[in-house]
Amino acid sequence: MDALKCDLLIVGGGAAGLRAAVAAVGVQPDLDIVVVSKVYPMRSHTVSAEGGTAAVLRDYDSHDLHCFDTIRGSDYLADQDAVELFVDTAPKEVLQLEHWGCPWSRDRDGRISVRAFGGMSVKRTVFASDKTGFHMLHSLFQHSLRFARIRRFDEWFVTSLLVDDGKCVGVTGLDLATGRIQPILAKSVMLCTGGGGKIFPFTTNGNIKTGDGMAMAYRAGAPLKDMEFVQYHPTGLPGTGILITEASRGEGGYLFNREGERFLERYIPGKMELGPRDILSRAIISERQAGRAFEDRHGEYVHLDLTHLGEKVINEKLPFVRELASKYVGIDPVYQPIPVRPVVHYMMGGVSTANDGSTPLEGLYAAGEVACVTINGANRLGSNSLTECLVFGGFAGEAAARHAQSTGLVDSGRVRAAARKEEQRIEQGFLHREDGTERISGLRGEMQTAMEKGCGVYRTRDSLLETTRELAELRERFADVRIDDRGKVFNTDLVAALELDFMLDVARCIAGAALTREESRGAQARVDFPERDDEQFLHHQLSLISEEGPRLETQPVTITRWAPEERKY
């Protein structure tokens, strides 16, 4: 079994991974950097981000205000030192990306434009029309092409982390084109694998967002943090879950119920459509429960009305919204309101990291949606996460590069044996087994339903116990999974099985952490514990692997200058 080798191995070519790679070149221009990604980098789901990326660029804005908005939005679960660092570094990162060619939208005077976004007190969200993630990703990718030292393993699926003597020393990767499984050894390994919306049935996330990095870190013994917090975005298209960006409300769109009321008046009159996502998503569900929603075969929904903005604004600022609504639900937002409903969007939780992206597992770093620093706490503010990818992708890339400078490659018999064992797990457990009966799609569908039902917007002890039981049963049945495809070349059936394997672990962590947090905070809404309880729960929860499933530990929240108070808007 040949081993591939490099200094720094970055798993993931989205905004975080590419930013990290470029940052690492800055530390040492001849560092041997490999970016491995299960899809070509420009397919990473960063590409789908629409609305914008936050940074303090205007005189009317301030460091403290962005910090406060983020911390209040997080329902006081963000680590305030991380937030301060984030807010401090954000403007430089946004400008840096401008220098690398990103086509930010501009004001008349040539400066980078900003728009309003949910939970942000002032206009501070930088954007590139309503294809911000697309432009950021392509700009970063194109910029990365100038560095010959950034090698890419495109369409390699990483299946596990290799750990030796308490250190992460590489990964095992499946080269999709050939079907070969090989160790890739590295002095530092960094996870930038994104989130896991596909654990739920109805999501804005693409097919590739299956929580791989979280599961791999968890299996390798690194703790996951704050896994209970899953963000629902208030405005997805019914049926497909395609996102209608918050920028549509930032530009002035209204939400209406069936009775023609701007119903947010009842829930968050101070902010209305510009309230944070957790509150708006729950407001829509309350309207549904009160019988004031519309209904069709895709279920209940409300209206997002942009008609008063006029064709010119929509074409200039929200052309992608117009394209998506017209194509996928046959509604032209210039003339008709868009049907929308809450949809799983983002994972606040992830691999627990320090501010430099390091994890408790030596040699392992993480950044982007897979990581949990955390600036997001119990609820992320829209447009903070693209910036998070830049800021912490950059820091983590530098730290991982410096770590690689200070340590040697571990290529021992033990490591090779571990890699061979992983190869056998995949070949014998999936490819060559004859007796499986469970279809991947069947198990996946049942997992998604179990999560939505018991671990969705509203949760109770009973619903969470039921989901946990169902997940345990699905895990057992997964041992009997069958894959139709026995080939080596581009076996997407095998990939789907491995992704489901990862998702089942991450789902367990989400449900487990939601069960022990007996309070409501941010995105966690416990019907049986409707109040926030700072006395008992102003802490993070870490999920660690054990025989019986995730074992939970607590970790204090770092508070610098903003004492927790009631979250009022």
Ligand X SMILES: Cc1cc2nc3c(=O)[nH]c(=O)nc-3n(C[C@H](O)[C@H](O)[C@H](O)COP(=O)(O)OP(=O)(O)OC[C@H]3O[C@@H](n4cnc5c(N)ncnc54)[C@H](O)[C@@H]3O)c2cc1C
Residues that bind ligand X (CB under 6 A): 11-17, 36-39, 41, 44-46, 48-53, 132-133, 157-158, 192-194, 204-205, 208-209, 212-213, 243, 245, 345-346, 368-370, 382-386, 389
In angstroms, the CA 403 to CA 28 distance is: 12
- Residues touching another protein: how many (CB under 8 A)? 63
Choice between 30 and 107, CB closer to another protein: 107
Judged by CB under 8 A, the residue of 29, 59, 60, 110 near another protein is: 110
Binding site partner of 327, from another protein, ligand X, none, Cβ cut-off 5-8 A by kind: another protein
Structure tokens at 444: 């996946």
Tokens of 361: 């597992």
Binding of residue 120 to another protein (CB under 8 A): no
Q: Which residues pair with 348 in a beta bridge?
A: none
For another protein, the binding residues in 263-322 under the rule CB under 8 A are 320
29 binds another protein (CB under 8 A): no
The entry of another protein, ligand X, none that residue 143 binds, CB within 5 to 8 Å by partner kind: another protein
Q: Three-state SS for 380?
A: coil
For another protein, the closer CB: 165 or 328: 328
What percentage of the chain's residues is helix, strand, coil (to nearest 5)? 40, 20, 40
Rounded CA-CA distance 554/463 in Å is 23
Return the structure tokens found at 270: 């101070």
Tell which positions 328-367 bind another protein, by CB under 8 A. Answer: 328
Residue 414 binds which entry of another protein, ligand X, none, CB below 5-8 Å type-dependent:
none
249 belongs to the catalytic site? yes
Residue 386 contact, options ligand X, another protein, none, Cβ 5-8 Å cut-off depending on partner type: ligand X
Residue of the chain from 5, 43, 123, 149 that contacts another protein (CB under 8 A): 43
Question: What's the DSSP call for residue 60?
Answer: T
Q: Which of 63, 64, 101, 295 binds another protein (CB under 8 A)?
A: 101
**Interacting residue with another protein among 81, 88, 98, 164 (CB under 8 A):** 98
Other beta carbons less than 10 A from residue 93's beta carbon: 22
- Torsion, Cα 514 276 199 328, to 10 degrees, reads 160
* Closer residue to another protein (CB): 168 or 450: 450
From another protein, ligand X, none, interface partner of 188 (C-beta below 5 to 8 A by class): none
Q: Which of 327, 421, 453, 561 binds another protein (CB under 8 A)?
A: 327
Residue 359 binding result from another protein, ligand X, none, given CB thresholds of 5 to 8 Å by partner type = none
Work out what residue 15 binds among another protein, ligand X, none; the CB cut-off runs from 5 to 8 Å by kind: ligand X
Choices 133-141, 349-357, 412-420, 460-468; region in contact with another protein by CB under 8 A: 133-141
Q: Based on the shown chain and the rule CB under 8 A, indicate whether residue 326 belongs to the binding site for another protein.
A: no
Smallest gap from Cβ 232 to ligand X, in A, equals 12
- Cα 508 to Cα 514: distance, rounded to the nearest angstrom: 10
81: number of Cβ within 10 Å: 16
Residues 6+ apart with CB under 8 A from 312: none
Scanning 9-17, 356-364, 480-488, 551-559 for contacts with another protein by CB under 8 A, the matching segment is 480-488
Q: By C-beta, is 314 or 515 nearer to ligand X? A: 314
Q: Is 1 in the site for another protein (CB under 8 A)?
A: no
439 is known as an active-site residue: no
User: Which of 217, 280, 284, 324 contacts another protein by CB under 8 A?
Assistant: 324
Q: Which of 19, 249, 292, 521 is catalytic?
A: 249
Question: How many Å apart are CA 329 and CA 56, to the nearest integer?
Answer: 36
Residues comprising the chain, all counted: 569
Residue 289: how many CB atoms within 10 A of its CB? 11
Indicate the residue among 174 and 443 with the shorter CB distance to ligand X. 174
Q: How far apart are the first and last CA of the chain?
A: 59
Residue placing its CB nearer to ligand X in the complex, 8 or 515: 8
Tell me: does residue 109 bind another protein (CB under 8 A). Answer: yes
Of these, 19, 135, 225, 282, which contacts another protein (CB under 8 A)? Answer: 135
411 to 440: interface string for another protein, x by CB under 8 A: ----------------------------xx
Distance, CA of 323 to CA of 315 (rounded, Å): 10
d(C-alpha 431, C-alpha 494), whole Å: 7
Indicate which residue of 45, 233, 282, 459 is catalytic. Answer: 233
In angstroms, how far is CA 330 from the centroid of its own chain?
Answer: 29
Question: CB neighbours (10 Å) of residue 149?
Answer: 17
Q: Tokens 């926030």 — which residue?
A: 532
485 near another protein (CB under 8 A): yes
Q: Comparing C-alpha atoms, which of 85, 66, 75, 38 is closest to residue 192? A: 38
Q: Cβ of residue 373: shortest distance to another protein, in angstroms?
A: 23
| Residue 449 binds another protein (CB under 8 A) | no
Question: Strand 350-352 relative to strand 371-372: parallel, antiparallel, unpaired?
Answer: parallel
Say how far apart CA 219 and CA 163 lie, in whole Å.
Answer: 10
User: Minimum CB separation from another protein for residue 200, in Å?
Assistant: 15
How far is it, in rounded angstroms, from Cα 116 to Cα 110? 19
Give min distance, CB of 327 to ligand X, in A. Answer: 15
What is the C-alpha to C-alpha distance for residues 136 and 140, in angstroms, rounded to an integer?
A: 6
Kindly write out the interface string for residues 231-270 of this chain, putting x where it contacts another protein by CB under 8 A and - elsewhere.
--------xx-xx---------------------------
Alpha-carbon span 388 to 18, nearest angstrom: 13
CA atoms of 160 and 170, how far apart (whole Å): 9
389 binds, among ligand X, another protein, none (CB under 5 to 8 A by kind): ligand X
Nearer to ligand X (CB atom), residue 426 or residue 515: 426
- CA separation, residue 357 to residues 1, 14, 209, 248 (Å): 31, 16, 21, 33
C-alpha to C-alpha distance for 194 and 453, rounded to whole angstroms = 24
Is residue 340 helix, strand or coil?
strand
Which residues carry out catalysis? 233, 249
